[in-house]
Amino acid sequence: MAYPLKQQFGSDAVSKIIIFVTVALVGLILVAILLLSSFITIPNRQIYESQFQFVDIKDLTTHVGSTGVGKTRSASYSTTTQSRMNLERSRRGYTTPTLVLLHDVMQGWSSYSHIISQLVDDFSLVYPDLRGHNYTVAVGKKKSSSLETIRDDIIDLIQFKLLQQPVILVGHGLSGVALYVLARDKPELFNKAEIMGIITINAPHYQAYKTVVRSSADQQAKSAYISELFAMRKTETLASLSPDDLFKMFKINTTAVRTQDFINSWSQQSRLNALDWIFDNYKIKEETSSFESFEWTFENSSRNLTVTTPTLMIWGNQNQVYSKETLEASMDYFSDLRIKELRGSYNLLFEEPTQIAQAIREFVFKLLH
């Protein structure tokens, strides 16, 4: 005959059994969670602490931030104990490369803030405000902001004692185009001991853009902001541009940027200085706003246009600044190119930081091998 547990063992014994079973189940659940965390990638939500300084590099007082491997950071949320790349790197004795994060026109170091939080445990990270932007100011006679000048600024920065080589350069938009100019003009710097590779985000090859914008109505429509700016300069109305106007014109993710006190904190003169990146690099027929005879100011057709250094090109497939045709045309100008298309717009840095960070890790992991 079956009896209830309380009749068989007594109420105290049953209570102890229930407590034991509950504790055992909780323990098993915790063990399962710990085991699963080894295989599941949890979005990185690091709270990192940047170290900022002003450094005098030739004619610039450059505002530079840094963090990452070997830097002190504040408390953070745990993701995984160590990424696969970190583990492999430590086993094989590779040197951790420094990633130099270069922002686009009308932006600043903080446009990479979401990416920095994703990569803070994997790399040493350096992120300057570039010429004419945010806190970086030119000293003495003002130079042109042509991409050849930006190229020289990048060289000066990576050769400055602040950085430890090897270096991987990451450029968004026009900064990415500047990296192609750097690779064209200074191929001797690109090797595994100095500059290991290039990563660009929504940055077509300059020759591909030139070819496409001359004939493609789609690309001309996407580039209309350039002719608008030239027209405003001609009528001397640039000073009337508000931060909101610039956000709209440059297709900047307004919500993400506003949370970082971005262009709103700039002086009017700073905004005008940043616009020199447009006027000092693009040549169009201002009287007709035509792109049919478009030229880059820095171009020298006698030079080799092919980028030979390993390059990762990350591209938003809903890009509102560059057409898919410019991406396809760019493929002809690289000898070692990998393309990662992501679902998103020109604002991929804000929209898909986790996927961008993972693409960067995979690219660097392959370079180290």
Q: Which of 359, 285, 335, 303 is nearest to 151 (CA)?
A: 303
Q: Of all residues in the chain, what percent carry a pLDDT higher than 70? A: 73
**In this model, does residue 297 exceed pLDDT 50?**
yes
Structure token pair of residue 131: 């010429």
Q: What is the largest CA-CA distance in the chain?
A: 103
List beta partners, residue 338.
Answer: 312
Q: Which of 81, 78, 303, 302 is nearest to 185 (CA)?
A: 303
Regarding whether 227 and 147 lie in a shared domain, the answer is yes
Split at pLDDT 50, 70, 90, the class of 87 is: very low
Q: Of all residues in the chain, what percent carry a pLDDT higher than 90? A: 43
Regarding whether 32 and 79 lie in a shared domain, the answer is no
CATH code, domain carrying 313: 3.40.50.1820
Task: Mean pLDDT check: name the lowest of 80-89, 296-305, 338-347.
Answer: 80-89
List beta partners, residue 53.
Answer: 64
| Helices 147-159/174-185 angle, 10° precision | 70
DSSP letter at 104?
P
Residue 200 structural domain = 51-368
Residue 45 lies in a domain: no
Task: Mean pLDDT check: name the lowest of 110-114, 241-245, 293-297, 341-345.
Answer: 241-245
Of the two residues 282 and 23, the one the predictor is more confident about is: 282
Number of H helices and E strands in the chain, helices first, is: 15, 11
Chain center to CA of 193? 22
Q: Identity (one letter) of the amino acid at 339? A: I
pLDDT digits 0-9 by tens, 329-363: 999 999 999 999 999 999 899 899 999 999 999 99
List beta partners, residue 47.
Answer: none
Residue 43 lies in a domain: no
Chain length of the chain: 369
Residue 221 lies in a domain: yes
Structure token pair of residue 293: 């005879």
Q: How far apart are CA 359 and CA 363, in angstroms?
A: 6
With beta carbons less than 8 A apart as the criterion, state whether 48 and 74 touch: yes
Q: How far apart are CA 28 and CA 51, in angstroms?
A: 42
Regarding whether 185 and 94 lie in a shared domain, the answer is yes
Plot region of 289 (φ>0 → left; ψ -120 to 50 → alpha; else → beta): left
What's the number of domains the chain is made of? 2
Regarding whether 239 and 215 lie in a shared domain, the answer is yes
What was the pLDDT predicted at 263? 58
Split at pLDDT 50, 70, 90, the class of 204 is: very high
DSSP letter at 317?
T
What was the pLDDT predicted at 197? 95
Regarding whether 99 and 14 lie in a shared domain, the answer is no
Regarding whether 163 and 207 lie in a shared domain, the answer is yes
Regarding whether 177 and 278 lie in a shared domain, the answer is yes
Q: How far apart are CA 133 and CA 152, in angstroms?
A: 16
Regarding whether 316 and 223 lie in a shared domain, the answer is yes
Residue 231 lies in a domain: yes
Task: Mean pLDDT check: name the lowest of 100-104, 121-125, 159-163.
Answer: 159-163
Residue linked to tokens 């106007």? 245
Regarding whether 149 and 32 lie in a shared domain, the answer is no
Split at pLDDT 50, 70, 90, the class of 34 is: low
Residue 42 lies in a domain: no
Regarding whether 266 and 243 lie in a shared domain, the answer is yes
Split at pLDDT 50, 70, 90, the class of 166 is: confident
Regarding whether 140 and 29 lie in a shared domain, the answer is no
pLDDT digits 0-9 by tens, 103-150: 998 888 988 989 999 999 899 999 999 998 888 877 766 678 899 999
What was the pLDDT predicted at 134? 83
Regarding whether 119 and 26 lie in a shared domain, the answer is no
Residue 345 lies in a domain: yes
